[in-house]
Amino acid sequence: MTVQSGDQSLPSSLRGQSTVLGIVLLIGMVAVGSTALFLVAVDSTESIEHESEQDRIENGFIELGHQMASASSGNDVTQSLNLDVGDEGTVASKDTGNIHIQGEDVDTNVSIGAIEYESNNGEKVAYQAGGVFHETMDETQVKSSPPIHYDDQTLSFPIVELAEEGDLNSGDISLEHEETENIHNPNTVEGETVSINVTSQYYLGWKEHFEQTVGDEGDAVQDYGQINESHGYVDVEFGLTSVEAVFENAVVTDEKPPSGDAGGIHGTSLYGDDVNISNIDSQVTSAIADANESHDSLSESESQISSGDYYVNGDLDNDDYNLDTIDISNGNVSVFVDGSINVSEDIQVTGWEEGNEAQIYTTGDLAIDGDNGMYVGESAYSPGNPGGEGDQENIHAKHLQIYGTSDFRLDMSGNDHYEGIIYAPGGTVTSGGTPTIYGSVVVGEIESIDGASEIIHDNDLDDSFEPRMQSGGQIPPEITYLNVVKHELTVEQN
C-alpha cells in the first residue's frame, strides 16, 4: 500500500514499527534518567561523607589545639588525646614557617612547625603555633584562633612549637611539655613600635586572626602577600612612630636661634649639642604614599572636614580649596599633602575640647600670608602687641600638628599667625613683620625672626606631651605592654 498525495497515514507495517521504536526510546530515556539520578545521589552522598569527615577532623584538630595549650602551661604532666584524623593520618613538621618580632629592645626570629592533614582533594587542616587553619584551593579559614591576645594596649603572644617531627595516625597520642622560653618578659613598650612578620603557608589565616584580634582599635595588618607557591607573609604593627618629647620648649633647633628686635622667643630654646633629633623624611613620605592608595581625596569644594583621613595630590591652596574649618569634635583628622600648604584665608580647628587632634603631613612647605592664620578655637593673636605673652587660655597648640621633611620651610610675614606644633627636624623657619607662632617649633634652623616676630610657647606643652605620628597611611593600634613566650612540646603516638 502506497501513500496517496495529501494522505498523512502510514502503512500498517510501519505503524507497528513506530510503536516498538517509541517504547524503546521511552525505556532508553528512563534508563538515562535513572542513571543520572543515581550519579547525582552518589555524588551527593560522597559530598556529605566528605563534609562529615572534614568536620570530624577539624574538631579533632581543635581539641588537639586545646590540649596543646593546656600542656604548654608549664606542668610536667604528660597529657593524652584520642586523635581522629581518618585513614590518611597527619604529618608533624618543624620549621614550616617563621615569626619575626622586632621592637626597641626585642629582635628575634621564632621558627614554627605544623601538624597537617591533607584530604584526597587537596584540602588541608593544620595546627600551627596554637591556631587551627582549614585551607582550600582559594582561601584559608581560621577554625581556632592562635592564643594571641590584645587587650587594654597589652599584647600577649604565646608561641607553641613542636620539639620533634613525625607521623601521627588516628588513635592515642601523648603531649609533653619540654621547655618554656621567655622571649620578651612583660615589659613596658609605650612609645615604641613593635612589628611582627609571620611567614607561613597559612598566612591568610594569620592575617584574618590579627584583624579580628585588634578589631576597631586600629589597623594592625600593614602588608601581606604571597612569597612563592606554598608560602606567604603578613606584616603586623603595633604602636606609632614616637616623636621626641621636646615640646616643653618654644624652639628646638640645630643652630642657635636669632632674636627679634621687638619680639623674640617667649619660652626656652633647645639647640646645638643638646639636640640630636633625626629627620622624619621617610615616615612622612611613606605616610603620604600610603594615603594615596587608601584614603579619599579632599574635595576642593568642601569648606569643613571632620574625623577621618584625607589625601591631597599637589598643593593645599586656599585658591583651589575652600577648606576653612577642621572639626575634631568626633575624632582625629589626618590630612596628607603631597605638596605644599599655602594659607591665604584663615583655617580654624574646632571641637578641640574633646581632646582629639588634627595632624597634617606635607612633603613641601607651609606659607601663610595676607594677615591670615591657622589656629585652634578662638585665635590668641593680638596684632600690634609685640613682646606680649599672649592669652594662654586661648592657646591650644597640641590639637594642631604639622609634620614635615628636612626640606620643610615655614614662611610668615605681616600679621600672619600659627597656633600649633611644627615637627620638621632639619627644616627652616623664616618670619618678618609682626607674625606670631603659638606653641612649639622643632626644625633645623630659625633663619630669621625679624621685626616684631614672635614665637610664644604654650604652657600646656610640657614633657608629658608625646604626640604619635603615623608612619604609614594606616594607624596601628597602641601598645603599652608586650609579653612573648615560646613553649616547646613533644607530640608522639602511643
Q: Does 343 lie in the same domain as 444? A: yes
Of 346, 357, 340, give the one whose Cα is nearest residue 322. Answer: 346
The pLDDT value recorded for residue 48 is 55
- Shared-domain flag, residues 224 and 196: yes
Neighbours of 150 (CB within 10 A): 19
Residue 136 confidence class, pLDDT cut points 50, 70, 90: confident
Domain count, the chain: 2
Confidence of residue 327 (pLDDT cuts 50, 70, 90): very high
Most confident of 214-218, 243-247, 342-346: 342-346
Return d(Cα 394, Cα 416) in angstroms, integer.
17
- What are the C-alpha distances in Å from 400 to residues 168, 305, 337, 351, 467? 60, 14, 15, 12, 11
Contact by Cβ (8 Å): 400, 358: yes
| Segments forming the whole domain that contains residue 93 | 65-236+477-493
Mean pLDDT of the chain: 81
Residue 44 resides in a domain:
no
Q: What is the pLDDT of residues 268-307, one digit of tens each?
A: 998 888 888 888 888 888 889 888 988 889 999 999 999 9
189 and 320 inside one domain: no
Q: For 435-474, write each residue's pLDDT tens digit.
A: 899 999 999 998 877 667 889 999 999 887 877 776 554 4
* Pair (232, 94) in one structural domain: yes
Contact 64, 117 (CB under 8 A): no
Return the sign of the alpha-carbon dihedral for residues 370, 399, 464, 221: negative
Amino acid at 96: T
Claim to verify: residue 231 and residue 263 sit in the same structural domain: no
DSSP label at 216?
Answer: G
Q: Is the pLDDT of residue 351 over 90?
A: yes
Strand, helix or coil at 72?
coil
Q: Is residue 50 part of a domain?
A: no
Q: What are phi and psi of 103, to 5 degrees?
A: -155, -165
178 and 104 share a domain? yes
Tell me the β-bridge partners of 97: 112
What are the distances in angstroms from CA 19 to CA 1, 25, 72, 125?
Answer: 19, 10, 79, 59
Say if residue 261's pLDDT is above 80: no
Q: What is the mean pLDDT of residues 66-83?
A: 80
Q: Which segment of 69-78, 104-113, 417-426 scores lowest on mean pLDDT?
A: 69-78
- Both 119 and 135 in one domain: the answer is yes
Residues 430 and 394 both lie in one domain: yes
pLDDT value, residue 157: 84
List the grid coordinates of 9: 497515514
Give the other-Cβ count within 10 Å of 96's Cβ: 24
Q: What is the mean pLDDT of residues 399-422?
A: 94
Share of the chain above pLDDT 70, in %: 80
Residue 46: CB partners within 8 Å, gap ≥ 6? Answer: none
